[in-house]
Amino acid sequence: MEFQTLEKEFSDYVGTSGCVTVNTGTSALHLALEALKLPKDSEVLVPQYTMVATAWAVYYARLKPVFVDCKDDLLIDLEDLESKITQKTKVIMVTHIYGRVVNMTKVTEIAKKYNLRVIEDAAEAHGCEWSGGKVGSFDIGCFSFYRNKIVSGEEGGAVVSNDEEFIKTAKDMKSMSFGDEHNYMHKQIGFNYRMTNSQASLILDSLRNIEKNIELRKRNESLYDSLIGEQYKMPKRNVPWVYDIKVKDNSIVDNLRHNRNIPARYGFKPVSMCAPFHIDANNTNAFKMSKNIMYLPVDPHLEEKEIKNIVLNLKELL
């Protein structure tokens, strides 16, 4: 089975003993929370600045998201995080934004201090490292293999961990919780989150090419660095998923996309303001940064002339 081969090779790459493949990255986040079997009213600390699927996974699992602001580098504010821990807090979720890595040494210290589990949303951070270890390997890691990710297929996701009991539970849950007996007496909630072998085959091809992929992404990042003014640059990324910049008004994204055919994108919006939460975040740093952040592609297939054209159009509007 191709998906089983992928589970072995991907866990080896990340540096964990276990891996469970699923159909999407969102499913990976949801499955990870469900497999922890947390008490009903448990709180999960979630970044404000992230793709909304991170927060939706908490909602899907019938848990309470507690939103944590970001610093100017867009990563979760660990001081704000620690201030929001209560007796009901059970999980810290962090997102490695655009290939920029959260301080996992500090996250691990906080988790041990308060006896919390850690889930890393590493959808944008394949191959990233912190202090000698790959992201996703610190407790529970969740990855997306959507077609725009560093390791990609058409779709797909994975949950990785060294917690053998957790991995066993997640493997059962992702396939309708049939259990060992497969007698249609389901003893825990389950989900139809299976990955197809055709998905796994595409992802394996991408995984086996990851070092070259990362090399080309870093080359393209360096080219942007040489062409874009210092006032627009964001802190370096460990492995660039995209090239994010800070501008005075990111509404130029619409002009770039629709009038100049440049694949620019807006940065994330504070997730608490999105459905189904609708919690005001106007006074957060995440809201302030959301007005200024945009990003550009660093895909390995991009040629130098294409990046120079992107920057030329950007500069005309700036």
Tell me what the mean pLDDT of segment 252-281 comes to.
96
Q: Which fold has domain 210-317?
A: Aspartate Aminotransferase, domain 1 (3.90.1150)
What percentage of the chain has pLDDT greater than the value 70?
100
Ranges of each domain in the chain:
2-207, 210-317
246, β-bridge pairs: 293
pTM: 0.97
CB 209 within 8 A of CB 126: no
Tell me what the mean pLDDT of segment 280-298 comes to.
98
What percentage of the chain has pLDDT greater than the value 90?
97
If phi > 0 it is left, if psi is from -120 to 50 it is alpha, else beta; for residue 156 that is: left
CB 246 within 8 A of CB 234: yes
Query: What pLDDT score does 145 carry?
Result: 98
Query: What pLDDT score does 258 carry?
Result: 93
Query: What pLDDT score does 304 carry?
Result: 97
Residues 187, 179: Cα–Cα separation, whole Å = 8
Whether 270 has a pLDDT exceeding 90, the answer reads yes
Tell me what the mean pLDDT of segment 193-202 comes to.
97
Query: What pLDDT score does 181 carry?
Result: 86
CB 69 within 8 A of CB 96: no
pLDDT digits (tens, 9 = 90+) for 1-45: 899 999 999 999 999 999 999 999 999 999 999 999 999 999 999
Give me the amino acid identity at 110: I
Q: Taken in order 144, 145, 148, 152, is the CA torsion positive or negative?
A: positive
Q: Taken in order 53, 58, 64, 65, is the CA torsion positive or negative?
A: negative
Whether 130 has a pLDDT exceeding 90, the answer reads yes
Taking each helix axis as running N to C, give the angle between helix 164-173 and helix 25-35, from 0 to 180 degrees, rounded to the nearest 10.
120
pLDDT bucket at 221, cuts 50 / 70 / 90: very high
CB 200 within 8 A of CB 3: yes
Residue 66 burial (CB count, 10 A): 19
Residues 71, 101: Cα–Cα separation, whole Å = 13
Query: What pLDDT score does 87 carry?
Result: 98
User: What DSSP element (H or E) covers 273?
Assistant: none
What does the mean pLDDT of the chain come to? 97
pLDDT digits (tens, 9 = 90+) for 35-83: 999 999 999 999 999 999 999 999 999 999 999 999 999 999 999 999 9
How many whole angstroms from its chain centre is CA 94?
8
Residues 114, 166: Cα–Cα separation, whole Å = 20
- 158-169 per-residue burial string, b: 16 or more CB within 10 A, e: under 16: bbbbebeebbeb
Query: What pLDDT score does 1 carry?
Result: 85
CB 161 within 8 A of CB 29: no
Query: What pLDDT score does 214 carry?
Result: 98
Judged by DSSP in three states, 177 sits in coil
Tell me what the mean pLDDT of segment 107-129 comes to.
98
- Are both 2-207 and 210-317 of the same fold? no
Residue 15 burial (CB count, 10 A): 16
DSSP state of 234: P
Query: What pLDDT score does 132 carry?
Result: 81
pLDDT digits (tens, 9 = 90+) for 146-158: 999 999 999 999 9
Whether 281 has a pLDDT exceeding 90, the answer reads yes
CB 300 within 8 A of CB 220: yes
Whether 88 has a pLDDT exceeding 90, the answer reads yes
CATH number belonging to the domain at 2-207, selected among 3.40.50.970, 3.40.640.10, 3.40.50.720, 3.40.50.450: 3.40.640.10
